[in-house]
Homo-oligomer: A and B are copies of this chain.
């Protein structure tokens, strides 16, 4: 039996996100601390990231650098 709760969303570990961006896991942690990426915490304090958001951020980085960035 493999019934999952309705809005079970795919979560990624810091290492997995780090590999996608080609940075070390610690850098991903800094992004979370800086509020640049949202994250949830396991009950032990470790972070998990939404795969959808990570991929969105990853693709934003491929946009033209001429694009004005609001921030």
Q: Is the CB of B31 within 8 A of A48?
A: no
Which B residue sits closest to A21, measured CB to CB? Answer: B42
Q: How large is the interface on A (under 10, 10 to 19, 20 to 34, 35 or more residues)?
A: 35 or more
Q: Which of A5, A38, A63 has the most CB of B within 10 A?
A: A5
Q: Is the CB of B44 within 8 A of A65?
A: no
Q: 12 A-B residue contacts at CB 8 Å?
A: A4-B16, A10-B22, A11-B22, A21-B43, A22-B42, A33-B66, A34-B66, A35-B65, A38-B63, A38-B64, A40-B62, A41-B61
**A residues in contact (CB < 8 Å) with B:** 3-5, 8, 10-13, 16, 19-23, 27, 31-44, 48, 51, 57-67
